Amino acid sequence: MSRPRKPAAKARVEGRHLVNAGRYKRNEPTADDIGDPPKWLTDPQAAAWREFAGELPWLRVSDRCIVGIACVLRARLESGAEVGTKALNLLRLCLSSMGATPADASKVDWAPEEPGDDLLD
């Protein structure tokens, strides 16, 4: 089993990001924020959209399709409707793709870049 990923914040404190910068470099989001829910979503699904947007601030425009699928499934689950194992597995897959699980959230670097220290440059 491979060694667990060291958090980028810990690497910065230890100075490891200077020794091997490529290892701790994550993709910076370049697209706009996810925005408002699409008009085709029902009210409970749109509420799920806003919940996802608040819970996962790193979501971008390119994530709108997968978030839409997750919203449909989340609204079904929250309404108390019968949800099968296939739907739950699809929701789990969507959450994993969006970085909404603890294991996948560690791979997302969404915090704004801190300004550099003039004394270190």
39 and 25 share one domain? no
Q: Does 111 reside within a domain? A: no
Structural domain boundaries, residue 16? 1-30
Same-domain pairing of 1 and 59? no
Residue 48 burial by Cβ neighbours in a 10 Å radius (0-12, 13-18, 19+): buried
Report residue 60: phi and psi, to 5°.
-125, 180
37 and 47 fall within a common domain: yes
Reading the block at residue 46, the tokens are 């749109």
Q: Is 115 part of any domain?
A: no
25 and 36 part of one domain: no
pTM (predicted TM-score): 0.66
In a domain, 52, yes or no: yes
Q: Do 58 and 99 sit in the same domain of this protein?
A: yes
Per-residue pLDDT of the chain (121 residues; tens, 9 = 90+): 777 766 666 777 778 777 877 776 665 556 688 899 999 999 999 999 999 999 988 888 889 999 999 999 999 999 999 999 999 999 999 999 888 887 776 676 655 556 666 665 5
